A and B are shown apart, each in its own frame.
Chain A
Amino acid sequence: MALATVARLTGDLQLAEDAIAEAHAAALETWPAAGIPDRPGAWITTVARNRALDVLRREARRGDLERAATAALTALESSPTVVQPIEDDQLQLLFTCCHPAFAPEVRVALALRFVCGLRVPEIARVLLEGDEAVAKRIQRAKAKLRAASIPLRLPPAGLLPERLPSVLECVYLLFTEGYAATEGDQWVRTELCDEAVRLAVLLARTLPEEPGAAALAALVLLQDSRRGTRVDDAGRPVLLPDQDRSRWDHGRIAEGIRWLAAARAHPDMSAGSAAYLLQAAIAAEHAQAPTWERTDWPAIVAAYDQLAQLTSSPVVLLNRAIAVSHADGPAVAQPILLALAEDPRLARSTALALALADVAERSGDLTAARRHLTAAEARASTVAERSHVRRIEERLDGLASG
């Protein structure tokens, strides 16, 4: 957060980054002897602000200060001498990282670096890319930010409808990057989920006129409420039907439901906002259901129906078919799933094979169920997925022999 505040004060991300690095070095030198200050964030921000001010003054004396930097120098000199980092600055930096002049993959890398404060190797692990490629992408973006004079600011209200979608998309990506993988650097992933939830809520609070922001806050809070129950003690994934609902985060669920209501209170919204809202509505149905069996499946099917109108995502259609299998029974869902199996985009889908196995099992056709599980196992791309398929196979073996 300190970086965002110094970036606002200086109007220069590179200068802010260098100043923060120097402030951290100064902290390493002085804190061990002098003790950690009462407000470490303010300490770092203040030291960094002073370093940046020194740099600008030095450049001004040499007479090679650009016009924008001259304004920054004037603003810095009149800023308070003790600076508290503030959340709004982070939001401002988030909008800059998500500027439409950056390609989507650049935005996520920039947000991970400058808003979430991850280092390049951590970003590379999160994005499953090489260190060098990530470093280069960030370097190039910083050069563009500076050369093209991309402003460090919250866009004016008139531009928000155009600028907000890429910000919401990026925050949701941060969340799913942290949430999706059960392998890898656990500490970073936990941090990432928390950070994405915090940013989504901050956006919703700051932009009460934007239903998309409220809907995204609801969505990530509701999904994140299940985080602690998604993996068992042995590190194996636990799917929704088998999760211990008493251990879901009921504080997050309540907060998510409040944001969902806030989003629904808006009379009209963009298709993108509606997509977040419908996904949040589905998550809310699950979060509020006492058990898997007593979930309001018709409500979930209805939400997926609306979602399918907004997106051509085959995953939405697959999830809709699974909901249909619970709302109307496996016999109704089976032909829908078989039709989806013809979609080339789902040709490698483990989830589709698993859904087909599930409806076959529930229709009493264990032979077909086994066939679909064999297909699922062949498609499984991670160890966790493969062991999940095996556990179902073992359960079927138990059913057949018992």
Chain B
Amino acid sequence: MHYMVLLYDNEANATMPGDPEFEALMAGYTAFGELGGTAIVGGDALVPAEASRAIRVTGGQVSVTDGPYAESSEVLGGYYVLDVPTLDDAIELVRHIPATATGSSEIRPIAMLMPPSTDPVPAGAVRYVATIHGPTSEADVPGTAAWDERSAAHGRFASEAGSAVAGGAAIQPSSTASTVRVRDGELLVTDGPFAEGAEVVGGVYLLTAAPDAVVDIAARIPVPDGGGVDLRPILELGG
């Protein structure tokens, strides 16, 4: 069973390479990597949300703006993909992610996973995470005709985009989400997504493309009408 873990945190808690706190935080993530071992299928940190581009689609009209898709004090700072048997196993790992102690980690069951590519990133290209947002609908529920239709659209997008799509996941509806926090050493689990209304709907893509080409690619991602994509560069930590 694959789960996507979306790490939401206040960017005031974020540190950048070079800060003294950054080293301590990285040590925390290294420890989590050792704890998770092979259960961690993938994961990345993202650059701060001001680097985001928001692509909105309304009635077939596409608009692109600088800045995140949804303004909020706690923003997506990274993600993991876990492969564990049950939600309990996922929670037992997620409670040890450093961001869970300061922010909110949302666990979403994955309906279909396209594992992250291990190919080297071509020269001039940058890796991005594209999260899909918008109104929830029947198309979010696997097994429905609307879901099948949407899946087919994603299939067409992925084949057209070719190697620019370096991975992705179709995720279960936000009604199946659980949000985990740890405060004062105490585990707090809540029912539902971290931010109702601003949650990821449908799925996530990992794109590899040149900065001047990526928006055009991301704008072709099938999104629910009235929704859109938040496109954010991955923070390359090296190694």
Report A132-165 residues with CB < 8 Å from chain B CB.
140, 143-144, 147-151, 155, 159, 162
Which of A106, A140, A143, A148 has most B Cβ within 10 Å? A148
Given A151-B88, A155-B88: A103 touches B176 (CB 8 Å cut-off):
no
Contacts of B175 in A (CB 8 A): 140, 143-144
B87 at the interface (CB under 8 A from A): yes
Chain A residue with Cβ nearest B191 = A103
B58 at the interface (CB under 8 A from A): no
Contacts of A99 in B (CB 8 A): 87
CA distance A102 to B190 in the complex (A): 7
B121 at the interface (CB under 8 A from A): no
A100 at the interface (CB under 8 A from B): yes
CA distance A159 to B95 in the complex (A): 13
Chain A residue with Cβ nearest B1 = A149
Main secondary structure of the interface of B (DSSP, over half): mixed
CA distance A100 to B192 in the complex (A): 11
A101 at the interface (CB under 8 A from B): yes
Chain B residue with Cβ nearest A67 = B1
Query: In the complex, what's the smallest C-beta–C-beta distance from B139 to chain A, in angstroms?
Result: 15
Using C-beta atoms within 8 Å of the partner chain, give the interface range for chain B: 20 to 34
Chain A 92-111 interface 0/1 with B at a Cβ cutoff of 8 Å (1 = within): 00000001111100100000
> Out of A147, A148, A150, A162, which one reaches B187, CB within 8 Å?
A162
CA distance A151 to B86 in the complex (A): 6
CA distance A147 to B178 in the complex (A): 12
Question: Are A103 and B192 closer than 8 Å at their CB atoms?
Answer: yes
Given A143-B176, A147-B172, A148-B109: A101 touches B85 (CB 8 Å cut-off):
no
Question: Are A102 and B191 closer than 8 Å at their CB atoms?
Answer: yes
B189 at the interface (CB under 8 A from A): yes
Query: In the complex, what's the smallest C-beta–C-beta distance from B94 to chain A, in angstroms?
Result: 12
Question: Are A106 and B85 closer than 8 Å at their CB atoms?
Answer: no
Report A368-392 residues with CB < 8 Å from chain B CB.
none
Contacts of A68 in B (CB 8 A): 1, 85
CA distance A375 to B173 in the complex (A): 50
Contacts of B111 in A (CB 8 A): 147
Query: In the complex, what's the smallest C-beta–C-beta distance from B239 to chain A, in angstroms?
Result: 32
Contacts of A144 in B (CB 8 A): 175-176, 191
Question: Are A159 and B176 closer than 8 Å at their CB atoms?
Answer: no
CA distance A149 to B85 in the complex (A): 8
- The 9 A-B pairs at the shortest CB distance, nearest first, are namely A100-B189, A103-B191, A101-B178, A151-B86, A147-B176, A144-B176, A147-B172, A148-B109, A149-B1
A–B Cβ pairs within 8 angstroms, 8 of them:
A101-B191, A143-B175, A148-B178, A149-B1, A150-B88, A151-B87, A155-B88, A159-B88
Contacts A68-B85, A148-B87, A148-B107 given; 15 further ones with Cβ under 8 A?
A: A100-B189, A101-B87, A101-B189, A101-B191, A102-B191, A143-B176, A147-B109, A147-B176, A148-B172, A149-B1, A149-B87, A149-B109, A150-B86, A151-B87, A162-B187
